[in-house]
């Protein structure tokens, strides 16, 4: 079972605060107004959350904790990431869902082409996709998935502008990089549990 709290530190490493970049499509609302992004939350996505085109003020008002909750509800929970056994697989697949919108579809395509499955490539993490994700070798899947992420970025029309940042993002989602993050997270959770027991249950 994977947990959102282990993904969040990685996400926060690669998503900064307020950005307003005219070369990034995610900075525009549906009225084609340049309003920016906040903690990686795009204007178009946030428009779906609040039900109207956001202003610059709306984007700047998103707090770090609000952004985390949006990621938890609309990406992690929506795609049932907690039911993926491997934290490393859950992290990189959901991160591509956050960053490019097609993380589950890319995973399905990879599972079909390299692992012998016959999944619908519908970008929805259903029971068949979950079974497949929980059946594969973790190291092999993560390595191949990150290669597909890189290939996807190279097809983007703005890859010359953002390629360096995207490739740096990928470096945070290798199995090797995630190991110390996972151990630190486990240690933090254990510490919280100990303190809760010491001060509230004894």
Q: Smallest Cα–Cα separation from 6: which of 83, 91, 127?
A: 91
Q: How many helices (H) and strands (E) does the chain have?
A: 10, 2
| Residue appearing with tokens 């919108």 | 101
Number of domains in the chain: 1
The span from the CA of 22 to the CA of 33, in Å, is 10
Q: Residue 10: give its domain's CATH number.
A: 1.20.141.10
Asked if residue 34 lies in contact with residue 20, where contact means CB atoms within 8 angstroms, the answer is: yes
pLDDT score of 116? 98
Residues 6+ apart with CB under 8 A from 40: 11, 14, 15, 16, 67, 71, 98, 99
The span from the CA of 6 to the CA of 87, in Å, is 8
Q: How many CA atoms lie within 13 A of 138 on its CB side?
A: 16
The span from the CA of 104 to the CA of 94, in Å, is 7
pLDDT score of 162? 72
pLDDT tens-digit series, residues 112-146: 999 999 999 999 999 999 999 999 999 999 999 99
Structural domain span for residue 183: 4-201
Q: Smallest Cα–Cα separation from 165: which of 5, 8, 16, 63?
A: 16
pLDDT score of 142? 98
Which residues face 37 on adjacent strands? Answer: 19
pLDDT tens-digit series, residues 3-59: 999 999 999 999 999 999 999 999 999 999 999 999 999 999 999 999 999 999 999
pLDDT score of 36? 98
| Residue appearing with tokens 């983007």 | 156
- Identify the burial level of 130 via C-beta atoms within 10 angstroms of its C-beta, where 0-12 means exposed, 13-18 middle and 19 or more buried: middle
């Amino acid at each position: 079972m994977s947990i959102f709290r282990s993904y969040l530190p990685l996400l926060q490493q690669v998503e900064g605060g307020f950005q307003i970049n005219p070369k990034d499509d995610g900075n525009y609302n549906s009225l084609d107004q340049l309003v920016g992004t906040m903690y990686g939350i795009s204007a178009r996505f946030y428009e779906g959350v609040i039900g109207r085109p956001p202003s610059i003020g709306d984007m700047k008002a998103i707090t770090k904790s609000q952004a985390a909750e949006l990621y938890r509800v609309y990406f992690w929970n929506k795609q049932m990431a907690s039911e993926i056994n491997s934290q490393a697989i859950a992290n990189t697949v959901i991160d591509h869902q956050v960053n490019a919108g097609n993380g589950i579809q890319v995973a399905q395509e990879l599972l079909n082409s390299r692992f012998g499955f016959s999944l619908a490539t519908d970008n929805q993490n259903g029971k068949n996709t979950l079974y497949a994700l929980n059946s594969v070798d973790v190291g092999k899947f993560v390595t191949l998935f990150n290669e597909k992420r890189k290939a996807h970025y190279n097809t983007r029309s703005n890859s010359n502008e953002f390629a360096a940042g995207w490739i740096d993002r990928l470096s945070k989602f290798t199995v090797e990089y995630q190991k110390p993050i996972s151990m630190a997270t486990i240690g933090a959770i254990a510490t919280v549990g100990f303190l809760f027991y010491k001060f509230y249950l004894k």
